[in-house]
């Protein structure tokens, strides 16, 4: 019997911000940003390299206070691997992911339960801020004068 797959969350070169019901991740390597819903975030949190999918399912169920199947965890692992958030790809080792897609699972569980399925979405990657204030009559450096928002040289 083969060794169980023990997924490990990638930590390096990521900027992570936890919000109330989701986690935002900026991948500095690929300059991509992702939003993990609560289920995906919890699965990712428990990818400690020591816990198999079945164990992750138990822990996530405990935190969400409802049953979470191993299938759901594999669905999350597939997405985490796709978005490069795991140390090694889970897809090849998943016993179920090739068989059950998210859409099929939604059909099986019903729309109401679908909100509990893991979901990772791409978001617009942060760019340098463009909120620079224009100058005013008194804010221009010495030797310049404000001309409608721009400091023009006056010597």
Partner 1 sequence: MRIEGARGKTEPTLLAVALAGSWREAPPEPELTADELGQVIPLLTGSGAAALAWWKIRGSHLQESAPARTLRQSYHTQTLQAALQDWEIEHVFSLLRSARVEPILLKGWAAACLYPERGLRPPGDIDLCIRPERHEAAKSALWGRERRGTTSVDLTHDDSALSGVGGWEGLYARTRLAALGGTQVRVLGHEDQLRFLCLHLLRHSAYRPLWLCDVAAALEAARPDFDWCVALGGSARERNWVTCVLDLARRLLGARFDQVPEEVSSRRAPEWLVEEVLTQWERPCTAERWPHELMSVSLRRPSRVLTALLKRWPDPIRASVGLGLPFDGSPRLPRQLAFYLLQSARFLNRPLRRRGVPVKNPAGLTSPH
Q: In the complex, which residues of this chain contact partner 1 (CB under 8 A)?
A: 15, 17, 19, 24, 26, 33, 35, 123-145, 147-155
Q: Which of residues 112 and 129 has its CB atom nearest to partner 1 in the complex?
A: 129
Cα distance between residue 96 and residue 57, in whole Å: 14
Q: Which is nearer to partner 1, 54 or 121 (CB)?
A: 121
Question: Per the structure block, which two tokens stand in for 61?
Answer: 């169920």
Angle at 138 between CA 140 and CA 141, to 5 degrees: 25
Instruction: Give the whole-angstrom CA distance, residue 21 versus residue 12.
Output: 23
CB 123 to partner 1: min, Å: 5
Using alpha carbons only, give the angle 55, 86, 4 rounded to the nearest 5 degrees.
40
Q: Least separation, in Å, of the C-beta of 122 and partner 1?
A: 10
Residue with Cβ nearer partner 1 (110 or 143): 143
Q: How far apart, in whole angstroms, are the C-alpha atoms of residue 145 and residue 135?
A: 9
Please identify, using beta-carbon distances, which residue of 89 and 151 lies nearer to partner 1. 151
Smallest distance, Å, CB 152 to partner 1?
6
Q: Which two tokens stand for residue 85?
A: 């958030």
Smallest gap from Cβ 118 to partner 1, in A, equals 17
Nearer to partner 1, 14 or 100 (CB): 14
Whole-angstrom distance, CA of residue 48 vs CA of residue 26:
20
State in angstroms the smallest separation of the CB of 18 from partner 1: 10
């Amino acid at each position: 019997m083969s060794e169980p797959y023990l997924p490990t969350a990638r930590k390096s070169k990521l900027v992570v911000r936890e919000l109330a019901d989701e986690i935002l991740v900026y991948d500095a390597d690929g300059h991509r940003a992702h939003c993990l819903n609560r289920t995906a975030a919890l699965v990712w949190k428990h990818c400690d390299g020591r816990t198999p999918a079945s164990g992750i399912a138990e822990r996530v169920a405990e935190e969400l206070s409802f049953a979470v199947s191993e299938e759901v965890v594999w669905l999350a692992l597939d997405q985490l691997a796709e978005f490069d958030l795991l140390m090694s790809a889970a897809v090849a080792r998943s016993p179920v992911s090739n068989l059950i897609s998210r859409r099929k699972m939604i059909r099986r569980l019903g729309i109401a339960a679908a909100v509990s399925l893991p979901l990772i979405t791409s978001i617009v990657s942060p760019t340098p801020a463009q909120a620079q204030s224009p100058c005013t009559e008194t804010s221009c450096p010495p030797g310049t004068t404000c001309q409608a928002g721009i400091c023009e040289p006056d010597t």
